Structure 1
Amino acid sequence: MITRIAARDDAPEVIPLLLEAIGSIAYLLTGASDEIEAAELLTTFYKQPGNRVSFDNVIVAEQEGRIAGMVVAYSGNDAGQLDEPFLAKLHGRPGKENSVIVREARDGEFYLDALAVDEQYRGQGIAKLLMAAAEQRAAQLGFERAALIVETYNERAYRLYLASGYEEDDMLRIGDSDYRRMVKRV
């Protein structure tokens, strides 16, 4: 099992994982009305630099040439700028002209935006491996803290993050869901 920065060509394996990880946030980011449209729009963004889900913000875990999992992670300092392409797309859609994107990441921290492991690879420690890779990248870039959010009902992920050293520090409401905001010193 290796971890590496994703490539554009990884989109067919990364996008389903991304959709699974972000759930309804995919519709808020893209303005899509169904999963197929959301996947198409996220694929377009993934293949372009300069946005939150760009391949250059994705770390993948790879086993035997297959993507086993992925984490989207970036500087909280850049969060507003990374959301601008999404806002431009949203504002060009009828009825979405006044859309806003809730800022999840804060300045001074490295933000783990989305984490997912392919179903056939679950239970093998891949989520922990991906978090460690993102935290290592955070430290290399000079960050002292990593942060993430988790839906309040997702107890399994919440327990994983607690066990990995993350502590709850706030609550966020995004769309119709409540999220626990968690931080960790790296």
Structure 2
Amino acid sequence: MIREATPADADFAAPLIYEAIGGIAYTLTGTSEPACAIAEVRRFFAQAGNRLSYENAVVAVDGDKRVGLALFYHGSQTAVLDRPFVEHVERKTGKAPHIVKEARDDEFYLDTLVVSREYRGKGIGKALLEAFEQECRRRGFGKAALLVDEENGRARKLYESIGYREDGKIKVSGHWFSHMVKQAAVSV
């Protein structure tokens, strides 16, 4: 089952988000220590109004166990959703971070998709992708997009199998990703 996330999911979500986004977590939190980055991601997840917020997430559950999550938002909202991170890092370090805009303004963007290690390979990632695409259609957006790590061939194969096509590359926090898009059949 897929359900909307709540602030109470922060303890579950933070380590998984950190695992999925790696160095991007350091850019967003202004720290280079994994435990500190996870703590900051946890705090941001429990708050409204940022890209990692529970407001932008769904959680996959198996019975009463949380097993995966997806974070998504419209690309036109990137600056607003990244502002809390910029302000946080400026307060912490005295310098604004360089946060690369991953999503284009005309697309519904899958920021993060991650499944707990012991539940991988059981179709949960695909179910989370379907929930993301369903939300894209429900909101009336015509294009879904995501980034896939150049080194993650398994994820790329999954995305291509359901219709995503690469339309460019982008370097985020020192690492290369393929930007992939899929036209969404908009519900009327």
Query: Shorter-chain TM-score: which interval?
Result: over 0.9
| TM-score where L is the length of structure 2 | 0.95
- Structure 1 position 53, deviation (Å): 0.4
Residue in structure 2 matched with residue 110 of structure 1 by the alignment = 108
- 1:109–1:145: 8 Å Cα contact kept in structure 2? yes
1:181 aligns with 2:179: yes
Give 1:133's match in structure 2, choosing from 128, 131, 134. Answer: 131
User: Where does structure 1 differ by over 3 angstroms across 4 or more consecutive aligned residues?
Assistant: none
In structure 2, the residue corresponding to 1:92 is in which secondary structure?
helix
Please give the TM-score of this superposition, normalised by the length of structure 1: 0.96
Question: Is contact 2:115-2:124 (8 Å) kept?
Answer: yes
- Structural RMSD (CA): 1.0
Contact 2:87 2:96 in 1 (8 A): no
| Equivalent residue, structure 2, for 1:56 | 55
Structure 2 matches for 1:126-165, cutoff 5 A?
126-165=124-163
- Map residues 88-107 of structure 1 onto 2, 5 A cutoff: 88-94=87-93, 97-107=95-105
Q: Distance between the aligned counterparts of 2:57 and 2:96, measured in 1?
A: 29
**Could you tell me the percent identity over the aligned residues?**
41
Q: What displacement does 1:72 show?
A: 0.5
8 Å contact kept, 1:19–1:39: yes
CA contact (8 A) 2:86 2:96 kept: no
Shift of 1:146: 0.6
In structure 2, distance between residues paired with 1:107 and 1:18: 23
Indicate the residue corresponding to 1:13 in structure 2.
12
| Structure 2 residue 16 is matched with structure 1 residue 4 | no
